[in-house]
Homo-oligomer: A and B are copies of this chain.
Amino acid sequence: MMITDVVHSYKNYVKKIMDFNEAIALAEWDMRTGAPRKGIAQRSEVVGTLSDEVFKRSTSDEMKGYIDALTNPSVQEQLSSVTKRMVEESQKTYDRFIHIPSEEYKAYVILQSEAQSVWKEAKEKSDFSLLQPYLEKMVSFKRKFIEYRGINHNQYDALLDLYEPGLTAETIDHVFGKLRSRLIPLVKEVIASKNQPDSSFLTTSFPIENQRALCLHLLKEIGYDFDAGRLDETEHPFEITLNPGDVRVTTNYQEHDFISTVLGTVHEGGHALYEQHISRDLVGTPLCEGTSMGIHESQSLFFENFIGRSKAFWSHHYSELKRYGSGQFDGVSLDDFYRAINTAHPSFIRTHADELTYPLHIMVRYDIEKALFNGDLQVRDLPGIWNEKMKEYLGIVPASDREGVLQDIHWPGGDFGYFPSYALGYVYAAQFKHAMMKDIPDFDNQVSSGNLHIVTDWLSRHIHQFGRLKKPLEILREATGEGPNPDYLIQYLSAKYKDIYQL
């Protein structure tokens, strides 16, 4: 067969896998946004059947044949950059799963589902002992899967690689260490400040219908394309991609906490912009998605924090906000509003944390995960070390495990190695902002004039369009000229909070 024929067959083969993935994504969106209760069990079986098909095809002899043919060095030089990266991704998936006996993988998937269900109960009862045996099994599955790939040391790096390819614990230690050494004292200064903002007007009633209209409006303002997406309501906001022409977001309207709704919507909007702007040339390939969890989070946090919590953004939108509200902002100056939405203080729950303390929540989890896989920490010791780390980083200790080690679904879901990407994304976002300022020196003016498209265009040009064609560190280096560097985030937070709290 001619090599062009092999490439053609390979691409058709992969396209079908991607089509199955789109069907799975739709089923998941539907189950989370309004599928009737009584159809869910059978729908889960549909997802199971489709996932099984994806698994089988991704690890089939046919796939192996394509990979072998297309990784041959003499062939590689004839391939386009897109095809080369596709094959690399196909191989990565193949290698990841091929050594796992399919019975064992099924047992793992069942454990995932059971552990998440037990987690709910354990959290409700604030009883870690219920979850402990499931987490132990989960950790041992994860270890075994890594060992199947011949990795026996620094196993945590193999987990990191699933979410943030190229990043190692060594790099993260450096980045987080520097960030932590500045954040811990800054948080203390903020707590001690006598200039605490008044944010009482943020919790008065804000009619849900108006929140809905406001969210639709702000999504349009940041450039979200409603011809390629839709906004629905769910308990937990999320973004989900069917294809770049169909990138959906959800939000959760809260009558007495509209600012969480608005910032949550803008956050998901940031994820969505990334996916909407991926080059259409990548549709039907494994490259047609965000390149890593960290880069993805950099886009959502860019919009949530660097736009949504900025004075420039609200100087453009504050009078609108007043119209959507019900009088609670009468007599509240833009400055007061800005300070109120940037109130910071240590708290127990990560998802409710402010932008200043958020990275410290991540570091608690990072230290624990790393010690579980690279060190000798045992699952039974998790509640204790959690509380120690909270005390050390945030100065507070949760009264119960519900507000502590049991708060997140990630570990019961088997997602070890995922947490760091939240804080890495934040670091990246600050780096992107810094680099962007060289091209758009009047950034604040542009934002306060409502010219967000200039910002979005920059992100699209340097990040979005490439999808997974470029790897995360490649994106970062090409856009900012350096690897992960926490200095810009430190500068941003120091300057902003010194100003707000008059330190």
Complex interface: chain B residues within 8 A of A22 (CB): 42-43, 46
Complex interface: chain B residues within 8 A of A248 (CB): 36
Q: List A residues 1-37 near B (Cβ within 8 Å).
A: 15-16, 19-20, 22-23, 26-27, 30, 34-37
- A30-62 CB mask vs B (1 if < 8 Å, else 0) is 100011111111110110111001000000000
Q: CB distance B39 to A242 under 8 Å?
A: yes
Distance, CA A36 to CA B49, complexed state (A):
26
Copies in the complex: 2
- On whether A225 and B38 interact (CB within 8 A), knowing A43-B242, A43-B246, A242-B43, the answer reads yes
Q: CB distance B227 to A38 under 8 Å?
A: yes
The size class of the interface chain A forms with chain B is 35 or more
- Any chain B CB within 8 A of the CB of A178? no
Complex interface: chain B residues within 8 A of A26 (CB): 23, 26-27, 30, 46
Q: CB distance B36 to A246 under 8 Å?
A: yes
Q: CB distance B283 to A36 under 8 Å?
A: no
Q: CB distance B228 to A38 under 8 Å?
A: yes
Contact of A16 among B38, B39, B49 (CB under 8 A): B49
Q: State the Cβ distance, A26 to closest chain B Cβ, in Å.
A: 6
- Any chain B CB within 8 A of the CB of A229? yes
Q: CB distance B42 to A243 under 8 Å?
A: yes
Q: CB distance B27 to A46 under 8 Å?
A: no
Distance, CA A108 to CA B183, complexed state (A):
66
- A419-437 CB mask vs B (1 if < 8 Å, else 0) is 0000000000000000000
- On whether A245 and B19 interact (CB within 8 A), knowing A26-B27, A27-B26, the answer reads no
Distance, CA A36 to CA B227, complexed state (A):
5
Distance, CA A34 to CA B283, complexed state (A):
21
> What are 8 inter-chain pairs, A to B, with CB distance below 8 A?
A23-B26, A36-B248, A38-B227, A38-B245, A39-B228, A39-B244, A42-B246, A42-B283
**A residues in contact (CB < 8 Å) with B:** 15-16, 19-20, 22-23, 26-27, 30, 34-43, 45-46, 48-50, 53, 225-230, 242-246, 248, 283-284
List 10 extra interface pairs beyond A19-B46, A39-B245, CB under 8 A: A15-B45, A19-B49, A20-B49, A23-B26, A36-B226, A36-B227, A36-B248, A38-B225, A38-B228, A39-B242
What 4 A-B pairs have minimum CB-CB distances, sorted nearest first?
Answer: A39-B246, A38-B245, A39-B245, A19-B49
